[in-house]
Amino acid sequence: MDSVDLQVLKSAADWVKSGRRVVMATVIKTWGSAPRPIGALTAIRDDGMVVGSVSGGCIEDDMILQVRSGELVKDKPATTKYGVSADEAKRFGLPCGGTLELVLEPLTKESGLDELLGHVERHELVTRRLDMKTGKVTIGPAKSTDLLAFDGATLATVHGPRWRLLVIGAGQLSTFLAQMAQGLDYQVTVCDPREEYAEGWDVAGVELKRGMPDEVVTEMNLDGHSAVVTLTHDPKLDDMALLEALKSPAFYVGAIGSKKNNDARRQRLADFDLSQQEIARLHGPVGLKLGAKSPPEIAIAILAELTAIRNGVRVPELVEPAKATVAGCVT
């Protein structure tokens, strides 16, 4: 599953190859309650076909009309604002008087989209620089901490996997988690030394490592843009990964299992060279309390917690529904 912005780049590249006129819009600044973040993309074809989003839809509708008429941009990039006045904000459906500033770029075969997609498909993090005066594009290496930058003369956008997710275990739950995580811009790696699980793994775009979990965690050199989730239910595998992951700068480390099992896991981890502060970093049971039961639901709960922490949002503990009693048994 591709992320939203990667879908925009792929569709735009295909349209340009087929000889269509295409305009790509990039959000470079927002004020108020903007519906899409800085860096969001949309591409509009000359016949009005659109992919991606920079708003709830009203701004795209206006741009589609201008692209069809050939009035939006000509040969060189330009900037535009939507929602500057209260009337415009209401007209374009921007909440609370929000305002968006966009860079509008007419795409050509010299826009470097094929080169950019090649880097992204190789899981390389790169910066695409657009010269606003000439429309010339250059692509070079980037760091995970790099952000979109615009100084009026050059637009620099960052592309590729800025976030990494290591999943321990190649079971059914890992399949759903890996597929969904790719849509959230994670470069996903799955580790499982068990032959019976590794042989059946088949998720496009996800690297499978068959080494021991602690060794894989160490060799990946985790940073603050990394997360680790253990899903095997086997302490011999999960705990090995956690012993290394909890000492790393990873922004999230989680383990599947009940509260009772995770309390026991914390006791086991305390017997090794982990501090209480490091053990306290463990999210276990993993994921938000959404009442999830099926593998897809559990994957959503995990990614919801990852997203909240990644965005610096403190999520209060949710109250689970009361257990139902059937035939004298609590279920």
Q: Which CATH superfamily is domain 163-310 in?
A: NAD(P)-binding Rossmann-like Domain (3.40.50.720)
Q: How far apart are CA 206 and CA 213, in angstroms?
A: 16
Nearest to 310 by CA among 182, 186, 126, 160: 186
94 by Cβ neighbours in 10 Å (0-12 / 13-18 / 19+) ranks as: buried
The one-letter amino acid at 235: P
The pLDDT of residue 129: 97
Nearest to 239 by CA among 210, 208, 217: 217
Paired strand residues for 207: 189
Q: How far apart are CA 225 and CA 245, in angstroms?
A: 13
Q: From first to last of the 331 residues of the chain, give the pLDDT tens digit.
A: 557 788 899 999 999 999 999 999 999 998 766 667 889 899 999 999 999 988 766 788 888 888 988 888 888 999 998 875 556 656 655 555 567 899 999 999 999 999 999 998 887 889 999 999 999 999 999 987 889 999 999 999 999 877 899 999 999 999 999 999 998 889 999 999 999 999 999 999 899 999 999 999 999 999 988 999 999 999 999 999 999 999 999 999 999 999 999 999 999 999 998 999 999 999 999 999 999 999 999 999 999 999 999 988 887 765 555 444 444 444 4
Domain range list for the chain: 4-159, 163-310
Angle at 277 between CA 243 and CA 284, to 5 degrees: 60
Helices (H) and strands (E) in the chain, counts: 11, 17
Cβ(56)–Cβ(42) under 8 Å?
no
Q: How far apart are CA 238 and CA 254, in angstroms?
A: 10
The pLDDT of residue 33: 61
The pair phi, psi for residue 242, each rounded to 5°, is: -65, -35
